[in-house]
Chains A and B, each alone.
Chain A
Amino acid sequence: MLKLLLRLGLLLGAAGLLGGLGIALGLRRGYVDAFYARFTAPPAGSLVLGTSRAAQGIEPSVLAARLSGRYAGPWLNYAFTLAESPYGPGYLSSIRRKLAPGTRHGLFVLAVDPWSLSLPNNVQHDKSEHDYKAQIINKLCGRNVFPEEKSMVSQLASVSQNPNLDYLAHYLHKPFYQLLLNADTAHVIERLHPDGWLEIALPPPTADTALLRRRTAEKLVTYRQLAASSQLAQARLFFLQQTINFLKQHGQVVLVRLPTGSAMALLEQQYQPGFDRLMRQTGVPYLNYLHLPYPTNDGNHITRLAARQLSVRLAADIARLPAQP
């Protein structure tokens, strides 16, 4: 057995060394994917939270430049996607891990929309929110009340580690050799900035092109299907409130409804006409930008230039808010 262990150790050691060197070289060249840098950034004092609309639509560095005197840093966009970071127990745990310990005067911008507060119709969501027994049964049967429970954001234990081996081993959905290929041009279309903002650099002009029309149509089909198969969930609203309550202990919380394409905004209004009223009942300021006419890349996410303009406006609006007790 010793012979096998020695030979195996030698072989695995050589493979580990050569493999590790290559991967380290790839990581040194900078760009990994649209999420990785958020999990290597140090714990943050101020956070932008939400799904992909927030990930692409709010630039923390713009907010920081205008508001840094008032709020704690570092600033980070910690928003992901609808599948990864709707409001729920997984995202809340991840936010707890990402928040810098001892933060007192942070700013927490929570982007909200009906989709990130919905659950599929076939989930028995409203029962298990507080029901301890139901939670245990669900756990034992492997039923996920929240579909994102097995997702990267919910599962990743280390969210401020560089390099983040846990992420690389479990959630990097591309082979390592690609880190060494075309690293300089890898972020031609998407680029994750050090502040967590995901810049989508589609070739201009995007307005009125056939491509934009096709993307918008596809997105609408997806969201119409989502509207038909989902409903606003008490369980998600409960966790949104839990998130707000937690973050209020560490600074100021602001809810923001981000602008989107006009057809998407109409669909959202039809899906959840009472959504704005619900958000105003959360006990924190609610800024509704849904109908602002910013251009989008796909009828859903605003363009990078619009993101900058919106971030400037958001900073100005937050600056005008009364200080939160």
Chain B
Amino acid sequence: MLFNSLHFLVFFPVVLGLYFGLPQRWRAPLLLVASYYFYLSWKPLYGLLLAATTLLDYYSGVRMSRLATEAQRRPWLYLSLASNLGTLFIFKYFNFFREAAVELATALHLPLGVPTLALVLPVGVSFYTFQSVAYIVDVYKGRLAAEQHLGRFALFVAFWPQLVAGPIERGGQMLPQLRERHQFDYGRAASGLRLMAWGMFKKVVIADRLALLANPVFDHPHRFEGLPLLLAILAFTGQIYADFSGYTDLARGAARVLGYQLVLNFRQPYLATSVGDFWRRWHMSLSGWFRDYVYIPLGGSRRGAARTQLNVFLVFLLSGLWHGASWTFIVWGALHGTYLVLESLTAPGRTTLAQQLGLATRPLLLRALGMACTLALVAYAWIFFRANSLSDAFYIGTHVFQGWGRLPTAQLPGALAGLGRHFVAELLVAGGAVALLAASDYRAERGSVAVWLASWPAAGRWAGYLSLLLATLYFGIFGSSQFIYFQF
């Protein structure tokens, strides 16, 4: 079920009404049923997969809780990891690695007859398996008490607002909330609904509109060079942020209305002043997961400078692979890993340069420069994330710098074709909406937007809410696209 569908417009009020209408003891079972309904409405059979991995993780957790040492708990850890990562491998990576192996075998003139698996990738599998892995590792390490209640554990894995695209929750954060009694709270519910409305605006007005600009170019990049390519890259840079943070706002808002607090996933990432800073602001629940369950176990920064850089690079390589079984995602991850390694290695030199240029005494200018450079690097990396193939990505990555001498280019109408006949109006709407998002992020950087909104006179606030709803209705693009991160 998509958050931007009529199905959800019925589902959410029904669940909400039942949730607060039922006695406390029935609320968690209701949420569990609703969560499975939410998931099963996509592909029923894959609900069994979710249930099976949930059962195994629950049982492994309970068994581990009865064992005293890590050595005793280890077999259960391995069993659970094999189940989760095995599921992920079979559904997401098998065909990719098979193809790579077949290509290698062909090059070496070796016979290799491995069949392709005709499997559809289960929605959200990367998210819920990572959430389960975090839980099981925390129980193994003794950082978290195993959940003894099967229903509560199943709800932790399948909680519908964050099931298909995160945020990736930790047991220590979420399980205590599932044990609490939740009363209806006007302020919290209103704040959740505001967040949902803003998330919906970001998705249907900004992300889906920018997609119309990005898609025609990314789908046929060889027809373009120079400005159209740059426009498409910038459009996708905006699209992916509005799309994914819009989804997260909807998820966090819906959970908040029900009384649950999901972790923050985005903190104005395009205002980051370095790539390292960007990753502390972008998809924070995933970055935190890789930090805690990959980077630190690999040794983190405790084994010398060279090993630290290698660990950083490996983490980003894996992060790229997590996003998709494709060379484009791997290169995207490697590019970010390279950025971070270079950023770390050049830090002293850059500081010296900033002092020599007199920028150290102009912090605002230095910050603006940092933001511009970071945005440029991140946007360039998005080419690999969005391109349909590695060759397309390399073409875009090189040809974006060419053809500028022939401006205004005859290719521009082709690049704008996705916006339809009213492309001037569409450009104005897109520009206005992106400006609103940028202003909101700028305001959030200086303090809570909610607190700022609360300082408005009531009439102004209500006019603002009404305008947001009407803008979503009039300028939204409905009925087509799912969220980008659903594919992961």
Contacts and interface: CB of A to CB of B under 8 A. Distances in A.
A172 B43 contact: no
Given A142-B43, A174-B420, A15 B470 contact: yes
A228 interface: no
Contact of A141 (B6, B45, B209, B479): B45
Given A140-B45, A142-B43, A170-B478, A186 B421 contact: yes
Given A1-B20, A22-B474, A175-B474, A181 B479 contact: no
Interface stretch (B182-190, B243-251, B266-274, B278-286): B182-190
A14 B466 contact: yes
Contacts of B190: 4, 7
B120 interface: yes
A225 to B, nearest CB: 13
A86 B46 CA distance: 29
B149 interface: no
B480 interface: yes
Given A15-B466, A178-B420, A8 B473 contact: no
9 contacts: A1-B189, A19-B470, A139-B44, A141-B45, A169-B479, A170-B479, A174-B477, A175-B477, A178-B420
Interface string B453-488: 000000000100110011001111111100000000
B478 A172 contact: yes
A175 B20 CA distance: 35
Contacts of A178: 420, 422, 425
Contact of B465 (A1, A11, A18, A140): A11
Interface of B: 6, 20, 42-46, 120, 184, 186, 189-190, 193, 209, 420-422, 425, 429, 462, 465-466, 469-470, 473-480
Given A4-B186, A175-B209, A177-B475, 17 more contacts: A1-B20, A1-B184, A1-B186, A7-B190, A19-B470, A19-B473, A22-B474, A139-B44, A140-B43, A141-B120, A142-B46, A172-B479, A174-B420, A175-B477, A176-B473, A177-B474, A182-B422
A166 to B, nearest CB: 9
Contact of B476 (A8, A14, A175): A175
B116 to A, nearest CB: 10
A223 interface: no
A130 interface: no
Of B42, B190, B475, B479, most A-chain CB atoms within 10 Å:
B479
Interface string A172-193: 1111111001100010010000
Nearest to A178: B422
A9 B132 CA distance: 39
Contacts of A139: 44
A173 B473 contact: no
Interface of A: 1, 3-4, 7-8, 11-12, 14-15, 18-19, 22, 139-143, 169-178, 181-182, 186, 189
A120 to B, nearest CB: 13
Nearest to A182: B422
Of A7, A11, A143, A175, most B-chain CB atoms within 10 Å: A175
B470 A18 contact: yes
B478 A141 contact: no
Contact of B466 (A8, A11, A142): A11
A185 to B, nearest CB: 9
B474 A176 contact: yes
Nearest to B48: A140
Contacts of A143: 120
A18 B189 CA distance: 25
Closest CB pairs A-B (n = 3): A142-B43, A140-B45, A15-B469
Contacts of B473: 15, 19, 176
A181 B422 CA distance: 8
A71 B421 CA distance: 39
Contacts of A174: 420, 477
Contacts of B469: 11-12, 15, 19
B386 to A, nearest CB: 21
Nearest to B205: A175
A32 to B, nearest CB: 13
Q: Most A CB atoms within 10 A — which of B186, B425, B473, B476?
A: B473
Contacts of B475: 175-177
Given A11-B462, A11-B466, A141-B45, A169 B478 contact: yes
Contact of B43 (A4, A141, A169, A189): A141
B7 to A, nearest CB: 10
Contacts of A169: 6, 478-479
Interface centre among B184, B189, B477, B478 (most CB of A within 10 A): B478
A18 B471 CA distance: 11
Given A22-B474, A170-B478, A174-B477, A4 B189 contact: yes
A3 B478 contact: no
A142 B42 contact: yes
Contact of A171 (B186, B209, B420, B479): B479
A139 B41 CA distance: 12
A132 B44 CA distance: 17
A177 B471 CA distance: 9
A173 B120 contact: no
Contact of B479 (A8, A22, A173, A189): A173
A19 B475 CA distance: 11
B238 to A, nearest CB: 17
A11 B478 CA distance: 21
B59 to A, nearest CB: 25
Contacts of B470: 15, 18-19
A29 B455 CA distance: 42
A143 B45 CA distance: 11
A270 to B, nearest CB: 26
Contact of B474 (A14, A19, A171, A189): A19
A15 B46 CA distance: 38
B124 to A, nearest CB: 14
Nearest to B16: A1
A173 B421 contact: no
A142 B40 CA distance: 11
A176 B408 CA distance: 31
A170 B421 contact: no
